[in-house]
Structure 1
Amino acid sequence: MPTSNWYQVLEELNGSMGGKRRSRVGSGSGTLTAAAASTGSTEVLARYQEVQEIVRRLTAENKILRQQVEEAQEELLTQSLQQGQSLIRSSEKSWASEIDNCTKEEVWF
């Protein structure tokens, strides 16, 4: 689900609480209190908690994926450097001598 849709779901859940959403004192986690659930909002509370769990899971997955991308970029850079070094070192023939041995068509293509 795109990020904008998650924000929309959260906004709908927050709006459906009708102002009864309160944070627990000292928790700082943004969880809903029992007062909201006792007013008939248990379904909304369950959905809100489900969305919170999904957000936590996606955040953890995102962190792992970012690490994997970083590792892949580092590996690609290393391989590119190694290829460049091997091209510089391993060529006993010069570019000019290689071209001399090619036909006109091979040079142009």
Structure 2
Amino acid sequence: MGLQLRSPSNQIRGLQFAATGATVAKVPHVHNARVFIPMNSADAAASNEHIYDSEVSGAPKATGEAWAVGQAIYWDNTNKRFTTTASGNTACGYALAPALAADTVTPLFLFQSF
């Protein structure tokens, strides 16, 4: 199923810009030390819609980590998954629902680039 934007459409915040590298639809990427979710696949330097604020679920999650409500969430750009591990990763939100350590996809969480 993959990453899903769960906020009502009038509450999802995005902007258009051309990323320095190619992007894949709904696979987060880091741009200028911020995590963005591209809405479409695009070549490098091609304009694309990028989400910076939304409730999200169903995205890849690091296994072996339980999530607690309110816990800080980070994007692991190397392994392309969300995690609670801060070291070497980029902050991008907070857990809105708990997750079990064995879970491989995220529960509902607040994704925020800024």
Taking structure 1 as the reference length, the TM-score comes to: 0.20
Larger relative helix fraction: 1
Q: TM-score, normalised by structure 2?
A: 0.20
Instruction: Identify which of structures 1 and 2 has the higher relative contact order when contacts are C-alpha pairs closer than 8 Å and 6+ apart.
Output: 2
Q: Which has the larger radius of gyration?
A: 1
- Report which of the two has the higher share of strand: 2
